[in-house]
Amino acid sequence: MNDHEDLGPPAVELQELREPAAADFLGRIRASIHRRLFVSDTVDFAFRAFFETMFDYLDLIMRSFSGATKPTGKEKD
């Protein structure tokens, strides 16, 4: 059963109000979505970079107090 079958015929008064979409309508929607995605990615990167840097400095300070060295992956022979 299709949902459109239950609605019956469209109201004539509402059909008279129908307007075609402007030619740039989809372009404006697409641009708005891309703009929001760009802002979201930019804010995410800014906060992630800030907090990763702060945690790296905190890690460096904690290691300097404890005297531990961070392994570099290279072994001396």
Residue 45 lies in a domain: yes
Instruction: Compute the half-sphere exposure of residue 39: CA atoms within 13 Å on the CB side of its CA.
Output: 5
Residue 58 lies in a domain: yes
Residue 33 lies in a domain: no
Tens digits of per-residue pLDDT, 27-75?
A: 999 999 999 999 999 999 999 999 999 999 999 999 998 876 656 666 5
* Number of domains making up the chain: 1
Residue 13 lies in a domain: no
pTM of the model: 0.52
Residue 50 lies in a domain: yes
Residue 6 lies in a domain: no
Q: What is d(CA 66, CA 68) in angstroms, rounded to the nearest whole number? A: 6
Contact 28, 35 (CB under 8 A): no
Residue 48 structural domain: 41-66
Q: What is d(CA 6, CA 51) in angstroms, rounded to the nearest whole number? A: 55
Residue 4 lies in a domain: no
Angle among Cα 51, 53, 56 to the nearest 5 degrees reads 110
67 vs 2 pLDDT, higher one: 67
Residue 1 CA, distance from chain mean position = 38
